[in-house]
Structure 1
Amino acid sequence: MHSWSDRLRFAFQPVVNLATGAVAALEILARPEAGDVLARARREPELDGRLAASALREAARRETLLPLHVNVFAGTLADLGRLAALRDAVRAAGRLPWEVTVDVGPPFTHVPHRALLEAVAALRGEGFRICADGVGDGDVPLRLLDELAPDLVKLDASLLTRTATVRAMRTLCEESGALLAVEGVETELQCAAARGAGAQLAQGDLFAPPARLPTSEVYVPELPGSVGTVRPAGPSVREFVRPAALLPEAASAEQVRRLLTGAPEVSGVLLVDGDGVPVRSVQRDRFLLSLSARYGHALYADRPAARLGDRPRTVGVTATAWEVLDVVADGGHLRTADDVAVVDDDGRCVGVVRLADLVRALAESRVEQAAGLNPLTRLPGSDAVTGEVDRWVAQGRGFALSWLDIDGFKQVNDGAGFAAGDELIRSVGRTLARTESEAVRVGHIGGDDFLVLADPERLDPLACAVLDAPWSAGGRAVTMSLATVVCPPGSVPDHRQAAARLAPLKQAAKALSGASWVCGRAGDESFEVRRGPGAAAAASPREGAPGSS
């Protein structure tokens, strides 16, 4: 009589980092050749726990160094708690708990939430990482998802057609510190949509189908830098994290040598203490050079590898790419090839970042930004600002969107010449650029039109900077018109509706003589004249106010 284990095989599917194209981890999938083992596992927590342990042992037999994902049902966790069989398998394989992510999958209905949360807390306390699996295609309640506080959320690729839902999940992940992954990606269009939605990770047959042997060779299509979003000024280090090669701090030089020579893709090894905190960093080339020197192997092989290591360079998971570059710069030119360890709030290593990945991504970002800059002012175009509007909307953030125009600019060009007109536009652009910060974004739409996104409390300084300045061109005094729509959190779904509300305010401001500023609110047809004739008087287009035609 055959046991369930005789009829079960395992397959490995890569989890891909969408920013670097590298394999971030391997998910181990059970593939029964006969019978209903998985259906039984859903009903029998002990069997499901043994399946997870078997998956881990299979990965150990394949000698993969990549982080691993193992699957368990939510009911299994609630019933078994700490998953003793899996913990024992991790220990026997010589792996560290934080190299293993437990993918907790549906069904969640009828699972005792308190028991599930206690089990997750116990696993997390030992160092395991937690993934909420099947989100969007399962029955996980949003409240439970929030209470689980997973390190990773896996969305089904079918949700990519529902951009508002994916955007909301991305915001939830950003605020909780979780990564967002999309599973079941089968087409290049889905891959582009996943990256455009802000997902850092993805898996599916497009990259590599499940296979009996682990692989680090995947297909990642060339993608545009962004789809409907604007990359923040400082991209998160999370976008560039690679798996780390970890060994205990007492590891010998010979152990490190065997790891490096057996895995040519590994650029360095981190030696960690019992809590997973990096204590020494061993860079591949320098280490192997030391061992290859005369008597090097005899001198160092049986001694601690830490003697040939350096103090690790670390950054937190909330760091930006620019902060990583600062760390690299402080390390001196001899260590520019060293990996930078990324650590969590407890100082435990969650991966490494390579300088080459950062430089390539930041260079591409700069090229994309430069291509979108107005050649006259070197300010980004409207796409940059409207993309940022959508990001603020997704974050539930209130904002003010303003349009600025030079009054009678055609007459300026006709009377003073186009050179004077160009210089005036450049001067306005420089003034607006000086107001730019995390709370203010400036774009040059074209001609004499500018677009400004700002926190509502930054409106008065912005207005003073552009309306109170003594503008002139060719000896002619020039005034500006400013129109603003204030959008409280949740008042508009995207930049298009904000722009539609801004259009009549622009007409109202242009209808006023001299320097003018008209301000309205999303969802309200009335507006306030803050500068110009009738300032501080509330008006409405339906009541014959300026611009009512």
Structure 2
Amino acid sequence: MHSWTDTLRFAFQPVINLSTGGVAGLEILARPETGDVLAEARRDPELDGRLALLAVRAAAHKETLLPLHVNVFAGTLADLGGLTPLHDAVRQAGRLPWEVTIDVGPPFTHVPQPALLEAVSGLRGQGFRISADGVGDGDIPLRLLTDMAPDLVKLDASLLARPTAVRAMRTLCDGLGALLCVEGVETELQCAAALSAGAQLAQGDLFAPPSRLPAVDVYVPPRSPDTAPNPRSGPSIREFVRPAALLPATASAGQVRALLTGSPEVSGVLLVDRTGVPVRSVHRSRFLLSMSGPYGHALYAERPAAKLGDPPRTVGIDATAWEVLDVVAVGGRSRTSDDVAVVDHHGRCVGVVRLADLVRSLAESRVEEAAGLNPLTRLPGSDAITGEVDRCIADGRAFALSWLDVDHFKQVNDGAGFAAGDELIRSVGRALQRAASGSTRVGHIGGDDFLVLADPEELDPLAASVLDALWSASGRPVTLSLATVICAPGSVTDHRQAAGWLAPLKKTAKSLHGASWVLGHAGLPGHEVRRGSGAAPTRAEWAAAEPGTG
């Protein structure tokens, strides 16, 4: 009589890093040839636990070095109090617990939450990473999701039709210290939507369908300029993490050599202690050069590989790409090509980043930023500012969006000439840049129009610096008009709605005499006149004030 395990096979589907285009891990999927073992496993925790063990062993047979994702029903963890045999199975397979993510999946209804949370805590204590699976199409309560504090949240692709929900989940993930992954991506439009909504990882048939052999080649659509990372705040290092090649700190040089020669894509090996903390970094080229020298193999093969390594360069999982570049810049030039280890809040290695990935991404973002600069002031255009506005909204931050322009600028050009008008615009742009502080962003959207995005508390000094200045063009006095809308969290849904609230404030500011400033609040009626009074002068009145006229 044949057991159900005789007809059970496993398939592997890659999890893709959307920033690097590389494979960040492999999800192991049970594929029974007969029967519905998954339906049985949902009812039988012991069976589900056995499937998890078999999945790890199946991956060991494929000799993949990639991190693994193993599926387990939430009820199984609560019923069994965790997966006690899994830790030993992972070690026997030559893997380390922190290379394995437990995808905890629905249903969550009727699962005793205290027991589930206790099991999750136990797995995390052993070093396993935790993923909340099926979010958005499943039944996990939001409170339970936050209590689990997963390392990864997997969203159903159906939520991409509701980008506000995806952005909100990205905000939640940032607060939990988790990555956001979208499952079931099948089209390039869905991939672009996942990127623009803030997802860092994705999986689906677009990249590679599940297969019996771990995918070597995956398809990742080219990244459009609209989804380029923000170069000012600095992209998070989470977007660039690659799987790390890990060996115990006690590994011999021969073991490291066998790993490197069998895996040409591996650029280096990290030696970690029993808790997963990196203790030495072995660079591929330098190590193999030492081993290939005269008597190199005879001298080093049985000796600890740590003797041929260097102190690891590490950054925290919350670091930005710019901080990694600072780490790389410290030390000798011989180590600029070394991988940088990324560690979690316990110091355990969760992956590596490569300098080439960072440089390429940051260079692309700089090119895109330069292409959008106004040629007169070298300030970014409206797209850069409105993109920042949308990020503020997605992050749930209050912000102040201001519009500023030169009063009667056409008359400035007519009376003083285009050269004087251009110099005036450049001067206003420089003044705004000098006044900008903290996270303030200044944009030149064309002609004499500027946009300023700032924290509300930064408004007063910025406004004073430009409105109190004595402006002139070829001796002709010039005044500026400023309109500001303050947007509290939840008051607007996107930059277009913020601009809609700003438009009438701009019209009011232009109707006032002298340097003017009108301030309003999105979603609330009325406005406050902070500068200016009465009606603005007519064209004839303005012309009469010019030197040599009237």
Q: TM-score range by the shorter chain?
A: over 0.9
Question: In the alignment, what sits opposite 1:314?
Answer: 314
Aligned to 1:372: 372
Residue 400 of structure 1 contacts residue 486 of structure 1 at CA under 8 Å; is this kept in 2? yes
SS of the residue 2:224 aligns to: coil
Q: 2:302 aligned with 1:293, yes or no?
A: no
Match of 1:466 in 2: 466
String of CA shifts for 1:494-542, please: whole Å, max 9, x gaps: 111111111111011001111000111112231111011169xxxxxxx
* More deviation, 347-356/392-401: 392-401
**AA at the equivalent of 2:449:** D
The within-5 A match list for 1:411-426 is 411-426=411-426
Q: Partner residue of 2:47?
A: 47
Q: Give the whole-Å Cα distance in 2 for the aligned partners of 1:486 and 1:35.
A: 60
Tell me whether 1:244 sits opposite 2:244 in the alignment: yes
Aligned partner of 1:85 in structure 2 is 85
Q: How far 1:469 moved relative to its partner?
A: 1.1
Tell me the residue number matched to 1:220. Answer: 220
Report the 3-state secondary structure (helix = DSSP H, G, I; strand = E; otherwise coil) of the residue aligned with 1:192.
helix
Cα separation, 2, equivalents of 1:96 and 1:88:
10
Deviation for aligned residue 1:227: 4.4
CA distance in 2, matches of 1:438, 1:184: 40
Cα distance between partner residues in 2 of 1:91 and 1:406: 69
Question: Do the aligned residues in 2 keep the contact of 1:379 with 1:443 (CA within 8 Å)?
Answer: yes
**Equivalent position SS for 2:318:** coil
**Structure 1 residue 284: Cα displacement:** 0.1
Q: After the TM superposition, which residues 239-388 of structure 1 pair with which residues of structure 2 at under 5 Å, given as runs? A: 239-388=239-388
Structure 2 residue identity aligned to 1:311:
P
Shift in Å at residue 232 of structure 1?
A: 5.2
Question: CA–CA distance in 2 between the matches of 1:5 and 1:196?
Answer: 42
- Calculate the aligned-residue CA RMSD, in Å: 1.3
| Distance of 2:396 and 2:215 partners within structure 1 | 40
How far does residue 228 in structure 1 lie from its aligned partner after superposition? 9.9
Matched to 2:490, the amino acid is G
Aligned counterpart, 2:538 = none
Which string of whole-angstrom CA distances, capped at 9 and with x for unpartnered residues, describes residues 384-428 of structure 1? 111111111111111111100101111111111111111111111
Q: Distance in 2 between matches of 1:100 and 1:452?
A: 46
Cα distance in 1, alignment partners of residues 441 and 449 from structure 2: 15
TM-score calculated relative to the size of structure 1: 0.96
Q: State how 1:12-161 maps to structure 2 within 5 Å.
A: 12-161=12-161
The DSSP-based 3-state class of the residue aligned with 1:525 is coil
Structure 1 CA distance for aligned equivalents of residues 426 and 383 of structure 2: 20
1:220 partner SS:
coil
Cα distance change, pair 399–202 in 1 and its aligned pair in 2 (3 A): same
Q: Is 2:175 the partner of 1:163? A: no
Query: One-letter code of the match for 1:292?
Result: S
Matched ranges for 1:181-220 at <5 A: 181-220=181-220
Q: Structure 2-normalised TM-score?
A: 0.96
> 2:231–2:362: 8 Å Cα contact kept in structure 1?
no
Aligned to 1:445: 445
Asked whether the 8 Å contact 1:270–1:278 carries over to 2, the reply is yes
Output one character per residue of 1:210-245: Cα deviation in whole Å (capped at 9) or x when no partner.
110112311111120334985653111100000000
Q: For 2:127, give the aligned amino acid.
A: G
For 2:480, the equivalent position in structure 1 comes to: 480
> Partners of 1:135 and 1:427 in 2: how far apart?
51
Alignment length, in residue pairs? 535
Would you say the 8 A contact 2:229–2:235 is kept in 1?
no
Q: Which amino acid aligns with 2:322?
A: W
> C-alpha deviations, 1:257-276, integer Å up to 9, x for none?
00000000000000001111
Distance in structure 2 (CA, Å) of the matches to 1:304 and 1:344: 26
User: Counterpart of 2:245 in structure 1: which amino acid?
Assistant: A
Letter in 1 for 2:62: R
Q: Distance in 2 between matches of 1:128 and 1:438?
A: 39
The separation in 1 between residues aligned to 2:165 and 2:408, in whole angstroms, is 44
Q: CA deviation at 1:200?
A: 0.7
Residues 14 and 216, structure 1, Cα contact 8 Å, conserved in 2: no
Q: 1:16 to 1:278 in 2, by over 3 A?
A: same
Amino acid in the other structure paired with 2:532: G
Does residue 528 (structure 1) correspond to residue 528 (structure 2)? The answer is yes
Deviation per CA, 1:166-187: give whole Å up to 9, x if none: 1110111111110000110111
Q: 1:534 to 1:175 in 2, by over 3 A?
A: farther
Structure 1 residues not aligned, in runs of 5+: 536-549
Percent of aligned pairs with the same residue?
78
For residues 5 and 69 of structure 2, the distance between their equivalents in structure 1, rounded to whole angstroms, comes to 20
* 8 Å CA contact 1:229, 1:391 repeated in 2: no
Q: Secondary structure at the match of 1:322?
A: helix
Structure 2 residue identity aligned to 1:375: P
Partner of 1:429 in structure 2? 429
Q: Measure, in 2, the Cα distance between the counterparts of 1:242 and 1:220.
A: 15
The Cα shift of 1:69 comes to 0.2
> Which secondary structure state, in structure 1, belongs to the residue aligned with residue 527 of structure 2?
strand
**Contact preservation (8 Å) 1:229, 1:390:** no
Which amino acid counterpart does residue 416 of structure 2 have in structure 1? A
Aligned to 1:395: 395
SS of alignment partner, residue 329 of structure 2: helix
Please report how far the alpha carbon of residue 438 of structure 1 lies from its aligned counterpart in structure 2 after TM superposition: 4.0
Q: Is the 8 A contact 2:103 2:133 kept in 1?
A: yes
- Distance (Å, rounded) in 2 between the aligned partners of 1:466 and 1:116: 58
What's the counterpart of residue 542 of structure 1?
none
